[in-house]
Structure 1
Amino acid sequence: MADNFKAIVYPVKDLAASKALFTALLGAAPDQDAPYYVGWSIDGQDIGLNPQGFDQGMTGPVPYVNVVDLKARLEALVAAGASVLQEPTPVGPGLHIATVKDADGNVIGLRGSGA
């Protein structure tokens, strides 16, 4: 997994309505469709809807960067001044995510194979 922006996740209040809107926008049915996450993979770009996003502190879309070493990258971001919003959390087979906030309040997500 190379370091790159791979996913954008949107917090949503009404998952069914948002799923219908994004299906119309993207012109395809979702690849992942669960009560806790709906997602598409379009030309290598992942787009997701998180119905718990606002409860988790998301205030808008969050870009996720694929990283090789999630723990090391998280530590480097904290050392550079970021604050951790979400510690590494498993979200699927072999996949963990974490989020940080930079000094300007921007949220950045990290995706990696382990914590």
Structure 2
Amino acid sequence: MNDGVQTIIFPIQDLEKGKALLALLAGAEPYMDEPYYVGFKIGGQDVGLDPGARDKGLTHPTPYWHVADIRAKYQALLDGGATSVQDVRDVGGGKLVASVRDGEGNVIGLIQDAG
């Protein structure tokens, strides 16, 4: 079971410029504004800016599927032929993320909310 794509993360080098541009686009201020991540809620969608994304193998905007069991879904994708970009890890407060690369080179992110 999953809740579909609800988050997209953009790798960014200049966080301040990216934050200003996205605030103009969203017409709102970020709900989270930290040196390691800036997040906006736009029409029920989470849009994030991650200055460390490239170091994690994310070089393009990455959609994140919200799933109930990230470890099982991550393993199923690997078993289905995907390759690991980022193993399951806690990003704070019990929220787990991971990412894989499909056979075409697209990165697919997974998120399991704390619960």
Fold-level similarity (TM above 0.5): yes
Percent identity of equivalent pairs: 46
Q: Tell me the equivalent position of 1:109.
A: 109
Number of equivalent positions: 114
Distance 2:87 2:69 in 1: 14
Q: Tell me the equivalent position of 1:97.
A: 97
RMSD of equivalent CA atoms: 1.4
- Offset, 1:92: 2.3
Q: Tell me the equivalent position of 2:26.
A: 26
| CA deviation vs aligned residue, 1:52-108 (integer Å, no higher than 9, x gap) | 112222121000000000000011001110001101111121210000000000000
| CA deviation vs aligned residue, 1:3-59 (integer Å, no higher than 9, x gap) | 310100000000001000100111100000000000011221000000011222212
Q: Tell me the equivalent position of 2:46.
A: 46
Q: Tell me the equivalent position of 2:74.
A: 74
Whether the aligned pair in 2 keeps the contact of 1:8 and 1:61 (CA below 8 Å) is: yes
Distance 1:40 1:113 in 2: 17
- Offset, 1:2: 4.0
Unmatched 5+ stretches in structure 1 = none
Q: Tell me the equivalent position of 1:59.
A: 59
TM-score of the aligned structures, taking structure 2 as reference length: 0.94
Unmatched 5+ stretches in structure 2 = none
TM-score of the aligned structures, taking structure 1 as reference length: 0.94
Give, as a single letter, the amino acid of the residue that structure 2 aligns with 1:83: T
Q: Does 1:5 align with 2:5?
A: yes
Question: After the TM superposition, which segments of 4 or more aligned residues of structure 1 sit over 6 Å from their partners?
Answer: none
Distance 1:82 1:104 in 2: 10
